Amino acid sequence: MKTKQHTVCDECRRRKLGCDGKQPCCSQCVFSGLGCPGYKKHIVFRQPSSPGSVASGQRKKRARQSRTPNPASQRPKPPTRALTWPLGDVLSMCIQNFVPANELGSMSSTSKPSQSRICGAWVEVLPGIVGTDGRHDGPLSSAIKALGISLMARGPKGRAPVHEAIEAHSSALKAVGCLIPRANDDPNNYTEISAAIMCLFLSEKFFPTSSSAATVHARGISELIQLRPPQFYASGTPHKLFVGFRPILILHAFETRKSTFLGAPEWKEEPFRRIVEDPLQALLSEACAIPAIFEMLDHCDDDSEPAAREAVIRFVDVINRLDFWHKSANMMTMRDFTYFQKVSPADTTSLDFPNITVANSLSHYWAFRIICVTQIQRLTAHHPNISQDCLLIVGEYPASEAVTQKVLQLATYILESTRYLMQEDMKLYGTASAFFPLHIARGALEMFGGDDEAICEQLARNAEIIRQQGYEDVLLHRRTVLLG
């Protein structure tokens, strides 16, 4: 006799998600990192009885046997290989990790501006690109699987084998490499390759396979973007891809201390002719000047005073521009964009924000400002002949105690933002956006207050929050190259 099966677990029913009903845990809960509560099945299985009379003792014996669980049936089924997961499930997992829940319903609209954020905003266009692609074995599909499996394999509690993550990445690299020569043959090819390379870049950032792979992918996506003029990215899917790629590429320029084409005037203006840049994008437009200053310094001798003087002047100019952005952000949004507060009177170590955009914008503004100030202090200390009269930072000399205390205050703000950005509801788009500011803040606090007991306690509390979220590797970068 067949009975109706209940194949939607309680968690998927609560979140109104499609549930594949896999045993013992559905794929949706596994991919989301949630505990699957299982399936309610109020079904009693009885042994069939043969015609005629049956002895009472035999009936009782069979009844006892039917209630005795079969040890073999109780063993958990071996997990399926990550490489065989359906593309739709992997794509759903990626989207849930990089798109805020309140934006999931409007992902299909290419005209509606996204809620700007540092990490993963471009992922929302993937379903549309895969849909127009029409095939589930193409380069983009392989890259999406590589990204999804790398997210599952990351960390000591990874739920996918490391070798499968490496295999998926290798397979995607080959598939994308075959399509690159045909990038200009079809607009769909161009869009698909762009998204695929970015999937590989993110995969490499979350699950590194080599020390240089992320840089190779960043260079590849940068060159691919430049195959089209800046105005190509003014609207539609190209615009969404561009504004999603832009934060990650600019932050990568910081890490490599190399200038980026995104700092050129035409690349800061043309893509925003039709859709005005929001405050976060405006902040990045100012900050992308900083990597170029590092590149200039790296090409000069440390004892070159003219180069140091030019760098200091440019750092001061960036600070002024950043501060002007901070003052004008309220006018750009017609609301208190720069608002933040303590979570509660009892919790004096955590900040709360209106949304992820404000949190990303402020934490990165603080980080960019710390970088500029510490570099000015370093260069003027190494070159005492540089006059500081024209280098005042908010009316103070760079070497003053007031300027150093301001750096410590901003670094503290960043640490106090950690709990908000790493909360479970933020998924990876919140957690990943905390990495860069945290490196800067922790480096600054260690540099200026490493001997201070209160600061050491503050760093220890912050480290514990990071460990609780399973991102111990954030703590491995002891001293960022952007401060020393």
For the residues of 142-204, what is the DSSP string, one character each? HHHHHHHHHHHH-STT-SS-HHHHHHHHHHHHHHHHHHGGGTTT-HHHHHHHHHHHHHHHHHH
> Which of 230, 255, 277 is the last residue before a domain boundary?
277
Structural domain boundaries enclosing 36:
1-48
Q: Which carries the bigger pLDDT value, residue 295 or residue 1? A: 295
Does the pLDDT value for residue 76 go beyond 50?
no
pLDDT score, position 401: 92
User: Is this prediction's pTM over 0.85?
Assistant: no
Q: Residue 267 — pLDDT band, cuts 50, 70, 90?
A: very high
- H or E element at residue 43: none
pLDDT score, position 16: 55
Q: How far is CA 129 from CA 20, 108, 235, in A?
A: 24, 11, 16
pLDDT score, position 114: 62
Task: Please report the beta strands in 278-346, taking only residues with DSSP state E, as ranges in sequence order.
Answer: 341-344
Burial of 124 (0-12, 13-18, 19+ CB in 10 A): buried
Does the pLDDT value for residue 418 go beyond 80?
yes
Strand 341-344, strand 347-352: pairing: antiparallel
Count how many domains the chain has.
3
Q: Which carries the bigger pLDDT value, residue 138 or residue 158? A: 138
3-state helix, strand, coil in the chain (%, to 5): 65, 0, 35
- Tell whether 266 and 323 lie within a shared domain: no
Asked, for residue 79, whether it belongs to a domain, the answer is no
Q: Which residue type occupies 193? A: I
- Tell whether 263 and 314 lie within a shared domain: no
> Which of 250, 277, 304 is the last residue before a domain boundary?
277
Q: What is the CATH number of the domain that holds 5?
A: 4.10.240.10
Is the bond preceding residue 24 a cis peptide, omega within 30 degrees? yes
- Tell whether 25 and 96 lie within a shared domain: no
Asked, for residue 78, whether it belongs to a domain, the answer is no
Q: Which carries the bigger pLDDT value, residue 113 or residue 228? A: 228
Asked, for residue 167, whether it belongs to a domain, the answer is yes
Does the pLDDT value for residue 240 go beyond 60?
yes
- Tell whether 480 and 337 lie within a shared domain: yes
Which residue matches tokens 């207050």? 449
pLDDT score, position 434: 93
- Ramachandran assignment for 22, one of left (phi > 0), alpha (psi -120 to 50 degrees), beta (any other): beta
- Tell whether 264 and 370 lie within a shared domain: no
Contact present, 259 and 291 (Cβ < 8 Å): yes
Question: Whole-number mean pLDDT of the chain?
Answer: 81
